[in-house]
């Protein structure tokens, strides 16, 4: 057997990479969701200084390449703060921050999609601003935001492939290793691409199912 | 903790050369993506089912597989089939193919937004189909999708940073060299991030201005 042949072990290698990509995607989506939503809440309450600050941060993150953000965190931060940053830490920080920026933008437009008259009505009924957010705005904004959120998540899954550049052993990195060893780029990159494609479809399908459930209450079913 | 942006001064010439290469790659890729996007958008709105299906598959694949995987597929795969392209041409090709999927979305939306009456009027006037497409459908579709196309172009510029992964010394690739040379990665990548933000800001502003200019005669809501 020559070293360029595929072995059963290569499947394990790819699956391991797939696991790393999926885990980092899930973790950074959760963190990004939390950060992005809290920025949106700060804006909802119109907190001085903080609200405009995070709006500016989100703009910066949205309009610069993720690769550059990753280099800034992985190569720049350790020198500036004189600490060590591992590839996985850099990946988590960068991807979470980037996801947060886009979640913030989606959340803001979703909150704004809820009509002003509803806010006024809620106030007349004596609801506090938090109760209004929790009971009136959030359920409708969630249903409104799920469409854009699906697109974002499918996109963020693909963005995770960039962390291979700083040495995280994700699916793309495993592909690069196999590509180098087997010298069969067509097969390797087709399989890697297919795995990403299937993951993307899984995400889209899960979101679509969730959206049907969230919209169940708004659909007119007759009296 | 030190922060000294003046260390960049001796490298401004190199960085400007890198920026020119980024601009050239993006301009060529925009042209490629527009040509491809127009063809694919016409296929996606065509009467023929196989044409629609083929175009939909292309868009689906290129939107759901990470750009870096597409790039590696072409960069390592093309020489296998005897197509020796340099890194720059491969990069422009990959950007055009990926960009085409997104431009076709914007242009398709523009085509679908044309009032049916306009097309009926053209048909009863006895204009041949080619003329209807060239003189009526495309001009209207393109001018209504200038702003979304601007957003696609911004994404194209951000994505072009990934070309540094196939040894191309565009803006990000050059910055990597400067960072290694100066041992001041934070300053270098912070400046790089701001450069991209500025570049994309100018593109968005220009696209917005062009959109308003081309749609001046239209009813409110388009401006």
Q: What is the pLDDT of residues B168-217, one digit of tens each?
A: 999 999 999 999 999 999 999 999 999 999 999 999 999 999 999 998 88
A49 touching B (Cβ < 8 Å): no
Residue B221 counted as domain residue: no
Mean pLDDT of chain B: 93
Name the H helices within chain B: 12-44, 49-64, 67-77, 87-112, 116-124, 129-131, 138-144, 146-159, 171-182, 185-214
Interval B106-128 mean pLDDT: 92
Q: Give burial (CB, 10 Å; 0-12/13-18/19+) of A102.
A: buried
Q: Give burial (CB, 10 Å; 0-12/13-18/19+) of A27.
A: middle
Residue B22 counted as domain residue: yes
A156 touching B (Cβ < 8 Å): no
Global pTM?
A: 0.91
For residues A210 and B2, give the distance between their C-alpha atoms in angstroms, rounded to a whole number. 48
Residue B114 structural domain: 7-214
Q: Specify the pLDDT at position B1.
A: 59
A65/B158 Cβ within 8 A: yes
CATH of the domain at B196: 1.10.3720.10
Structural domains of chain B, count: 1
Residue B219 counted as domain residue: no
Determine which of B72, B156, B183, B195 to mutate to test the interface with A (most A C-beta atoms within 10 Å): B72
- Which of 1.20.58.340, 1.10.3720.10, 3.90.850.10, 1.50.40.10 would CATH assign to domain A8-215? 1.10.3720.10
CA-nearest residue to A81 within chain B is: B1
CA-nearest residue to A153 within chain B is: B64
Residue B197 counted as domain residue: yes
Q: Which long-range contacts (CB under 8 A, 24 or more apart) does B173-176 make?
A: B173/B18, B174/B14, B174/B15, B174/B17, B174/B18, B175/A68, B175/A71, B175/B15, B175/B18, B176/A71
A200/B162 Cβ within 8 A: no
pLDDT level of residue B223 (50, 70, 90 thresholds): very low
Sequence-ordered list of residues with C-beta below 8 angstroms from that of B38, at least 6 positions apart, any chain:
B103, B104, B107, B138, B142
Q: Nearest 5 degrees, angle CA A204-CA A205-CA A211?
A: 90
B196/A65 Cβ within 8 A: yes
Mean pLDDT check: name the lowest of A131-135, A147-151, A214-218, B157-161. Answer: A214-218
| Complex prediction ipTM | 0.91
Which of A 80-109 lie inside 8 A of B, CB atoms? 80-82
Q: Specify the pLDDT at position A223.
A: 63
């Amino acid at each position: 057997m020559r070293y360029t042949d595929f072995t059963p072990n290569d499947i394990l290698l790819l699956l391991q990479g797939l696991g790393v990509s999926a885990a980092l995607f899930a973790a950074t989506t959760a963190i990004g969701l939390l950060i992005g939503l809290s920025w949106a809440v700060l804006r909802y309450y119109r907190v001085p200084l903080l609200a405009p600050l995070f709006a500016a941060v989100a703009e910066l993150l949205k309009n610069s390449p993720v690769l550059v953000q990753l280099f800034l965190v992985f190569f720049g931060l350790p020198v500036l703060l004189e600490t060590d940053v591992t590839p996985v830490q850099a990946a988590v920080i960068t991807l979470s921050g980037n996801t947060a920026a886009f979640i913030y933008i989606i959340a803001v437009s979703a909150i704004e999609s809820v009509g002003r008259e509803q806010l006024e009505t809620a106030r007349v009924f004596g609801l506090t601003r938090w109760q209004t957010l929790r009971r009136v705005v959030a359920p409708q904004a969630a249903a409104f935001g799920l469409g854009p959120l699906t697109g974002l998540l499918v996109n963020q899954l693909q963005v995770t492939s960039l962390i291979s550049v700083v040495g995280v052993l994700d699916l793309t990195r495993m592909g690069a290793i196999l590509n180098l060893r087997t010298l069969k780029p067509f097969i390797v990159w087709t399989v890697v691409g297919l795995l990403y494609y299937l993951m993307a479809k899984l995400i889209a399908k899960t979101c679509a199912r969730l959206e049907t459930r969230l919209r169940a209450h708004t659909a007119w079913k007759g009296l | 903790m030190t922060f000294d942006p003046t260390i960049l001064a001796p490298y401004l010439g190199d960085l400007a050369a890198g920026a020119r290469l980024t601009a050239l790659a993006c301009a060529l890729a925009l042209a490629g993506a527009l040509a491809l996007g127009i063809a694919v958008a016409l296929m996606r709105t065509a009467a023929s089912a196989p044409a629609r299906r083929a175009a939909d598959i292309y868009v689906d694949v290129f939107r759901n597989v990470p750009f870096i995987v597409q790039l590696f597929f072409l960069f390592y795969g093309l020489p296998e089939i005897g197509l020796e392209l340099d890194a720059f041409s491969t990069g422009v090709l990959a950007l055009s193919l990926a960009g085409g999927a997104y431009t076709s979305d914007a242009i398709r939306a523009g085509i679908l937004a044309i009032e049916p009456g306009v097309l009926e009027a053209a048909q009863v006037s006895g204009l041949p189909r080619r003329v209807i497409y060239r003189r009526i459908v495309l001009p209207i579709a393109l001018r209504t999708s200038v702003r979304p196309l601007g957003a696609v172009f911004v994404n194209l510029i951000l994505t072009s940073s990934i070309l540094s992964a196939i040894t191309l010394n565009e803006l990000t690739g050059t910055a990597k060299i400067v960072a290694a040379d100066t041992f001041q990665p934070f300053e270098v990548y912070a400046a790089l991030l701001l450069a991209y933000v500025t570049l994309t800001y100018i593109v968005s502003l220009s696209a917005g201005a062009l959109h308003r200019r081309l749609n001046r005669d239209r009813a409110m809501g388009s401006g």
